[in-house]
A and B are shown apart, each in its own frame.
Chain A
Amino acid sequence: MRMSWFNATSLTLGFAFLYLPMVILIIYSFNESRLVTVWAGFSTKWYGELLQNQSFLDAAWVTLKVAVFSSTLATILGTMAAYVLVRGGRFMGRTLFSGMIYAPLVMPEVITGLSLLLLFIGIGLDRGVLTIVLAHTTFSMAFVSVVVSSRLVTFDRSLEEAALDLGASPWDAFRLVTLPIIAPAVISGWLLAFTLSLDDLVIASFTAGPASTTLPIRIFSAVRLGVSPEINALSTIMIAIVTVGVITASLVSKRSMVRQKRDEQAAARAT
């Protein structure tokens, strides 16, 4: 099939629109001059300055801690919630439960942030890393449970039942049969929760204390004053990490999909 000129142009222009701003950002992070819009020669000095900047390094450390804890908690809770919703059958308050699970997906961040802050103040919890972790876990577990439940819906329930018939306890059936099958979804849920946490400015601004500035909060306060070459350098590093991560993840999932297909074919032949 050949592409028409119309489709080719719309794809070219569309992807140019999506990528040019980031490409420009990356190019100008290697600019010699502090005046970011004037090119004055190649230099990596802003990367050096960035690594000297203690406040950025501290913020990065806080962000990383928050992201690791909150995404792990969100993955555990989100997987549990997805399992309950897909396999749990009927129980009291199920509608309220599914409503609460999916509401954070569409909730404006300012409202989530405000409401959590008012809660933390109400119960007298000091704002810091812990409060950000609690907040991030709550909103990102919704995303995890969407990803995991879409995998649970499609997978063949008779596999679990077979394990139970063969004498496995429900926990063993989950651990040995269900978990390995939904593992790719759980991992991508974790990655999603991790990036959401790394990325979040609004909820973190409401729930962070003075000693727990995260990287987005730090970037936001710098960016308000305009474009700066250090932020360009920082952005480039973050874009590079994400790009490598996404490409690796997609290669790994492609390989595991191929392997799964091969296993299924082998199983089909064996029966």
Chain B
Amino acid sequence: MRRAILILVPYLWLLALFLVPFIIVGRISLSDTALARPPYLPQFSWDEGIWAFLSQLDFENFWFLTTDDLYWKAYLSSLQIAITATFFALLIGYPIAYGMARAPEEWRPTLMMLVILPFWTSFLIRVYSWIGILSQEGYLNQILLWAGIIDAPLIILNTNTAVYIGIVYTYLPFMILPIYSALDRLDGSLIEAAEDLGCSRLQAFWLITVPLSKNGIIAGCFLVFIPALGEFVIPSLLGGSETLMIGKILWEEFFNNRDWPVASAVAVVLLLILVVPIVLFQRNQQRQAEEDR
């Protein structure tokens, strides 16, 4: 009896506030926009029966997404931005994780805390802190002008470059931590053995260290890529008018155009795109857990 309560309470909560909302999104994505309250049709009514209701649902909104090139451009550009940012996060995060794993033992807990600390600070504030740095009269331009490296201020804020910087900056801890934990477990004697057998330092790194930290790299990349794909805050604060990201489109479709069916269809497609990386990520985690055993 107690066990049933223990299972039922969180179960029902999730059914009501997680699964049912998704079904509603799916159903509205099949409806038509209407000047009504709520602004979509058909509405379900018991008098007409379930079949009359179902027969009015259609895939029109999904057709609309394929005909208006704004949407597929936004999906492609979100993918491109997320992939590029993930690549740069790896490029910057790997050396940091590597340095942490090679740091003296007594420093490592402090270094770990220094990586985790930004994660606890407000995401919004961390994104905001770059506005002052990247703007035309911002600190970066001031320094570069003062040092004589550039003659005219660079335009970085409100471009895709600023979005890349924002994503790399805010999600960097997610990249560093899994790579660090993989490198931390790596047996140092393997590298020594490789070097004794005539590998150069660089060869030993490519042939031993990188393959053995592969799981950490994969986990880190997914942990950056998945949230970056649906990101809203970064493109809307740091990006410009030419920055197309699907999270921003969904937001505008809902709040500015008040087109609920199209916003729901955008959400359904985004979810379908995310299924592939999420499944791959889960598989990587499972394989890693099995290897650990």
Contacts and interface: CB of A to CB of B under 8 A. Distances in A.
B130 interface: yes
A198 B125 CA distance: 12
- Size category of the B interface is 35 or more
Contacts of B211: none
A89 B237 CA distance: 47
Given A1-B104, A21-B126, A110 B120 contact: no
B251 A223 contact: no
- Most chain-A Cβ atoms within 10 A of its Cβ — which of B22, B104, B135? B22
Interface in A198-220: 198-199, 201-202, 206, 216, 219-220
A84 B12 CA distance: 13
A227 B14 contact: no
Interface in B110-137: 111, 113-118, 120-126, 128-133, 135, 137
Contacts of B104: 1, 3
A183 interface: no
A110 B232 contact: yes
Interface string A67-81: 000000000011011
A267 interface: no
A18 interface: yes
A199 B21 contact: no
User: Dominant SS at the A interface?
Assistant: helix
Interface stretch (B52-60, B190-198, B264-272): B264-272
B38 A103 contact: no
A17 B132 contact: no
Contacts of A3: 99, 102-104
A24 to B, nearest CB: 6
B132 A227 contact: yes
Contacts of A108: 227, 229-231, 247, 270, 274
Contacts of A103: 18
Nearest to B237: A223
B207 interface: no
Contacts of B120: 195, 242, 245-246
B91 to A, nearest CB: 11
Interface string B82-123: 000000000011011011101110000001011111101111
Given A21-B133, A202-B251, 16 more contacts: A11-B111, A17-B172, A24-B139, A36-B132, A78-B10, A80-B9, A84-B6, A91-B7, A110-B251, A118-B264, A119-B24, A134-B17, A137-B13, A216-B124, A223-B128, A238-B125
